[in-house]
Amino acid sequence: MILLPIVLLPFIGSLCAALLPAHARNAEAWLAGIIALTVAVLTAAQYPQLATDGVLRLTLPWLPTLGIDFQLRMDGFAWLFAMLVSLIGMLVVIYARYYMSPSDPVPRFFSFFLAFMGTMLGVVLSGNLLQLAMFWELTSLASFMLIAYWHHRRDARAGARMALTVTGMGGLALLGGVLLIGHIVGSYDLDAVLAASEEIKAHAWYPAIVGLIAIGALSKSAQFPFHFWLPHAMAAPTPVSAYLHSATMVKAGVFLLARLWPALAGSDLWFWLIGGAGLCTLLIGGYLALFQNDMKGVLAYSTISHLGLITLLLGMNSELALVAAVFHMVNHATFKASLFMAAGIVDHETGTRDVNRLSGLYRAMPITATLALVAAAAMAGVPLLNGFLSKEMFFAETVFLARPEWQRLLLPVAATLAGMLSVAYSLRFVHQVFFGPPAADLPHQPHEPTRWMLLPSALLVAACLLVGMLPAQTVGPFLRAATDALLGAAAPDYDLAIWHGLNLPLYMSLTALMGGVMLYLPCIGRRSERIPLLERIDGKRFFNRLLNAVSILSEWLLGRLTSQRLQRQLLVIVLVVIGGSLLPFTPFASSTNNGPLLFGAQTPTETDPAFALLWVVGALCAVAAAWQAKLHRLAALILAGGAGLATSLTFVWFSAPDLALTQLAVEVVTAVLILLGLRWLPRRDARFRAGKAEAPRARLRRLRDLLIAIAGGGGIAALTYAMLTRPPVDGIAPFFVAQSLPQGGGLNVVNVILVDFRGFDTFGEITVVAIVALTVFALLRRFRPAPESMALPAQQIRDAAPKPDPAASLPTGYLMLPAVLVRLLLPMALMISLFFLLRGHNAPGGGFVGGLIFATAIILQYIVSGAVWVESRLRIHPLYWITAGLLCAAAAGIMAAVSGNPGGDPFLASQAWHGSLPLVGEIHLSTVLLFDIGVYLLVVGATVLILVALAHQSLRNLHRRTETGAAISNTVGSTISSTVSGAAQ
Amino acid sequence: MTLSMELIFSLAVGIMAAAGLYLILRPRTFQIIIGLSLLAYAVNLFIFGMGRLRLGAPPVITPALGGNPALYTDPLPQALVLTAIVIGFATTALFLVVLLASRGFSGTDHVDGEEPEE
């Protein structure tokens, strides 16, 4: 189907545009223009099929488990919008090529422009409401980027942020409404939703749905009370305004209202909410437009006002009004885009957009002036132009409204008033800028712009004229297709003629025209700085106050609920956990357990005195470590190691040799690690032994923490006991034991789980280890120790070892013998580690243990011989080891894809090959082994990287000390010499 | 409550957890790092205990014994704990380096990066 490229092409183009060089204006414009044109041609080519089939669909599975598909759906209405989006997009691209200055980074502009076009096409062509809401949010994001294009400007950033906040909030409300609809209908499919109209309207949630959808649509279309964001979005480059605020962004809101009109409209609530908002916006926007001094400001408020007109039409609950609304969407897009372009041209050529400074440009730029004049006339609703036709339909609708008497009287009056305002601001826009005496003090001498900048505007104005004079022959069939698609059989008959005879709407039009002129006359030559009556109603100020209030409130709440102090945070966490675990003992808990809480039915295992003794020592070590951790770090480290050793022996005791091995190896490495760190910690003993009186509060706090710790530990002990005395639960363990050999091909079940059944988890884990090692490495590269740690520790000075000599084969002094032994140990350790690695699948061992053993052996070399000596003989590149490890593990996983099975096996499914080789004999190879080798390499690399990076700090410190020492002695020396010379004089 | 292996094991876990909890509530970074290690021992033992305490059960499948799962230890908690031990080492290393860097920047080893006012 051709629908997919229509949506995808702009996104692909966006990626390409982002990659072009910074000043490739022509290439960018060609790319964007061709893509917009292709989309337009593709869309146009669908028309014949659309005319016969009615609706074109494309469904791709998206979230099949939730029954949600990615659906593209094109009917007459969507087609009309897709044409508008792509055609006006193309014209804006041509315009933008000449508007953007050579110093603007155009890749960003065209990239976001195309992305925006894609999101907008996505909104228009979505056949699924959730997908529509997603594209809706994407339009907000893309427009944010476009409005903030000149991000060095404060107003651009503020305007973009405001637009994003308001429309993003609206998008959230829309999503809520869509979810409610989906809940009622049981599907997010647009056809299903439209078919369930009666069901939705009868549902109790109908008001909530209308409210939420209205917030979404009204905020997007800049309707009262959300209208204030649009004028501030004018900080965007003018091509962006011409695109976003004529044919696309703001039209999304009214598009959605029209799209859901058959499903939601027809109620009083709809009339008051949508119609009311539309009417307010129509009048307020028109009134405010009259007092703007910025050309784009006038256009912004007139856009707000015209969208209000469309919204009002949509809120009238009448089919003919819907037709008028769709017609006006198209008309407004054409004349407003061309007016924005005119404003941009004036700005580009004169350097200002101030209506009061500009004057008499008609002489210097006659073509621009003519184009702007015609477009503004269309905006004002002058006969023979397209704006007149839809405005006439609007007037007719207000007159024939099927509502109570007073509303039927009030609405035509309001409509006529709005028409007068529209005429007045259009007149002011054209008259002040292009007529009158020539302006004297313009930043640039005005002249006609290049032809290519005029062309898009001229084409749009030609469209205004053509539609205005020959509506039935030009836009007629497309409009008919659009309204038929929306209303189906209920589509009313209408006549797109210019002359309907002398009727009330025509009189209203004439009144509006004359009234508008009268309204404008007193404004000529008057500079308006203040807006009468509505001066105090400023949406921006209210918005900023609201934002401030929200951030103050959240700060206050954060201050109540959190603390900057880690101790307090941990205290709260521990207390909450302890409190939460007490819940089963409260009367509120539902008692589903049977039997005593603490003692299970399992017969206890008989005590082994040796085990009891082991834990007497282990527990003493743990408590002593807690006691000593403050003042005697080394003692605490050793004691904690004792507790770790007891843990390791416990693993052996209860038949877990793999754990015991790993624990033991990790214990060694951790001890070395912390020993290396100890050197950089502040001295504690001297300061605290100096007899500093301890505050009683600190003692009290320690007592409190002790009680909490005893309570927590007691709770955990009770929990452990309760668990251990219950019979084991048959979980998934039997599966692993039973399938280890048949499926995993290994006897060591723990290892088979790690490298085969749960290989993906292990892959993630070793990746984490690699990331940690790299983070440690990166952190230490910029490490600055505290100044008081720079000096050599007392032990190093007292027992000064001879300076290591890289050239000597053996160190002299007391390290000579250990050096001999450790060097002999290295190859043996390598062999043992490989032994553990290779046998891991069938016996205790594996990549983790093997890697840790070898890493320990390497670290031993460093400890005994010193970093300088080791690195002069043996360059270990831990980063390569880490990389190789990750690659091995990944390769083992990917091999599953090229297995013999059709389509390949899932990632990390183990593959084995069994056969015989000449000379070697029978051999069994498995990807599992490759995976374990990857683990081994990575563990070696990561451990060595961490420890060596830490160890190198002492070497670097040596350099730092000599540098600063030299600097100090230099300064001291020069001070002394200058003092001496001063005294001599 | 007679003295059984289960009771000793539970008390061991409880005491190490208590020591760890006390330490992580202390203000100095070194105390936290030791406290976390002790807490990790306790938690690892607890998870390991989920498979219940088995004396002399073969951890590796012996073809002579057959494939009856009841004869073997529970491999699942063991696999979990093995992973936890290695990750524990990595986080200890990361934490150590972070605390060293924080000490270098702030000049103190207090967990909040500044000495308390009192």
Mean pLDDT, consecutive 10-residue segments, chain A of 985 residues?
A: 87 92 86 93 91 87 84 92 94 92 88 94 93 94 93 91 92 95 91 91 93 95 89 91 89 94 91 93 91 90 94 91 92 93 90 85 89 92 89 88 80 91 91 85 84 91 91 87 86 80 85 89 68 68 88 91 86 90 71 60 81 94 92 92 94 91 93 89 65 73 93 92 84 84 83 88 93 92 78 68 69 80 92 91 88 92 84 86 94 80 73 75 79 94 92 77 53 40 38
Nearest chain B CA: its distance from A640 CA (Å): 7
Total residues belonging to chain A = 985
Q: What are phi and psi of A534, to 5 degrees?
A: -100, 15
Cβ-based neighbours of A48, under 8 Å, separated by 6 or more: none
* Phi-psi map region of A602: left, alpha, beta (phi>0 left; psi -120 to 50 alpha): beta
From the list B10, B59, B103, which residue is nearest A844 (CB)? B59
Residue at B98 is within a domain: yes
Helix (H) / strand (E) element for A56: namely: strand A56-63
Q: What are phi and psi of A566, to 5 degrees?
A: -65, -40
Is the predicted ipTM greater than 0.90, yes or no?
yes
From the list B11, B59, B90, which residue is nearest A768 (CB)? B90
Contact assignment for B83 to A622 by CB distance below 8 Å: no
- How far apart CA A570 and CA A14 sit, in angstroms, is 48
- How far apart CA A806 and CA A804 sit, in angstroms, is 6
Contact assignment for B83 to A761 by CB distance below 8 Å: yes
Residue with the two structure tokens 């050529």: A349
Contacts of A769 in chain B (CB under 8 A): 86-87, 90
Residue with the two structure tokens 């190859």: A827
- How far apart CA A813 and CA A801 sit, in angstroms, is 8
Contact assignment for A754 to B82 by CB distance below 8 Å: yes
**Chain A residue closest in CA terms to B5:** A607
Residue B40 · residue B88 · CB < 8 Å:
yes
Residue at B25 is within a domain: yes
Contacts of A612 in chain B (CB under 8 A): 3, 8
CA distances from A70 to A6, A80, A118, A593 (A): 14, 21, 15, 48
pLDDT at A400: 82
Output the six-digit token pair for A110: 């065209």
From the list B82, B92, B118, which residue is nearest A673 (CB)? B92
3 state SS of B55: coil
Chosen for mutation from B83, B98, B99 (greatest number of chain A CBs closer than 10 Å) is B83
- How far apart CA B11 and CA A878 sit, in angstroms, is 41
Contact assignment for B22 to A709 by CB distance below 8 Å: yes
Residue at B112 is within a domain: no
Contact assignment for B90 to A655 by CB distance below 8 Å: no
For residue A97, count other CB atoms closer than 10 A to its CB.
Answer: 21
Q: What are phi and psi of A809, to 5 degrees?
A: -80, -30
pLDDT at A917: 76
Cβ-based neighbours of A791, under 8 Å, separated by 6 or more: A961
Angle, helix A451-469 to helix A386-399, in steps of 10 degrees: 40
Contact assignment for B16 to A643 by CB distance below 8 Å: yes
Residue with the two structure tokens 């002398």: A502
- How far apart CA A284 and CA A418 sit, in angstroms, is 9
Nearest chain B CA: its distance from A687 CA (Å): 13
- How far apart CA A404 and CA A398 sit, in angstroms, is 12
CA distances from A349 to A353, A430, A435, A667, A962 (A): 10, 16, 16, 76, 65
From the list A567, A650, A720, which residue is nearest B10 (CB)? A720
Contact assignment for A640 to B38 by CB distance below 8 Å: yes
Contacts of A705 in chain B (CB under 8 A): 22, 25-26
Residue at B24 is within a domain: yes
- How far apart CA A350 and CA A441 sit, in angstroms, is 10
**Chain B residue closest in CA terms to A763:** B83
First to last CA, chain A: 98
**Chain A residue closest in CA terms to B108:** A682
Nearest chain B CA: its distance from A58 CA (Å): 46
- How far apart CA A463 and CA A317 sit, in angstroms, is 30
CA distances from A407 to A316, A356, A415, A507, A973 (A): 11, 39, 12, 19, 97
Contacts of A669 in chain B (CB under 8 A): 89
First to last CA, chain B: 47
- How far apart CA A75 and CA A73 sit, in angstroms, is 7
- How far apart CA A128 and CA A512 sit, in angstroms, is 42
Nearest chain A CA: its distance from B90 CA (Å): 6
pLDDT at A589: 62
Contact assignment for A658 to B69 by CB distance below 8 Å: no
Looking at the DSSP assignment, which residues form a beta bridge with residue A58? A72
Residue A377 · residue A469 · CB < 8 Å:
no
Q: What's the CA angle centered on A19, arms A13 and A20, to 5 degrees?
A: 90
Chosen for mutation from A737, A748, A775 (greatest number of chain B CBs closer than 10 Å) is A737
Residue at B64 is within a domain: no
Contact assignment for A658 to B78 by CB distance below 8 Å: yes
Count of the separate structural domains present in chain B: 1
Contact assignment for B28 to A629 by CB distance below 8 Å: yes
Contact assignment for B67 to A564 by CB distance below 8 Å: no
Residue A458 · residue A384 · CB < 8 Å:
no
Nearest chain B CA: its distance from A731 CA (Å): 9
**Chain B residue closest in CA terms to A950:** B97
From the list A653, A659, A782, which residue is nearest B81 (CB)? A659
Contact assignment for A747 to B42 by CB distance below 8 Å: no
- How far apart CA A220 and CA A691 sit, in angstroms, is 70
Output the six-digit token pair for A192: 């299903």
Residue at B77 is within a domain: yes
pLDDT at A970: 46
Chain A with chain B: Cβ pairs closer than 8 A: 324
Looking at the DSSP assignment, which residues form a beta bridge with residue A73? A57
Cβ-based neighbours of A695, under 8 Å, separated by 6 or more: B118
Residue with the two structure tokens 């893509």: A35
Q: Is the dihedral of CA B36, A642, A827, A858 positive or negative?
A: positive
DSSP string, A194-257: HHTHHHHHHSTTHHHHHHHHHHHHHHHTT-TTSTTHHHHGGGS-HHHHHHHTTTSHHHHHHHHH
CATH number at residue B100: 1.10.287
Residue at B44 is within a domain: yes
- How far apart CA A736 and CA A743 sit, in angstroms, is 9
Burial of A736 (0-12, 13-18, 19+ CB in 10 A): buried
From the list B60, B69, B76, which residue is nearest A844 (CB)? B60
What value does the CA radius of gyration of chain B take, rounded to a whole number of Å?
20
Contacts of B115 in chain A (CB under 8 A): none
- How far apart CA A192 and CA A810 sit, in angstroms, is 85
Contacts of A714 in chain B (CB under 8 A): 14, 18
Burial of A797 (0-12, 13-18, 19+ CB in 10 A): exposed
From the list B4, B73, B105, which residue is nearest A607 (CB)? B4
DSSP strand pairing (A68-74 vs A56-63): antiparallel
Residue A85 · residue A78 · CB < 8 Å:
no
Residue B93 · residue A772 · CB < 8 Å:
yes
Residue at B94 is within a domain: yes
- How far apart CA A837 and CA A551 sit, in angstroms, is 56
Output the six-digit token pair for B27: 């203000």
- How far apart CA A559 and CA A931 sit, in angstroms, is 49
Output the six-digit token pair for A123: 């909104």
- How far apart CA A805 and CA A816 sit, in angstroms, is 13
Domain range holding B79?
2-58+71-106
**Whether this model's pTM surpasses 0.80:** no
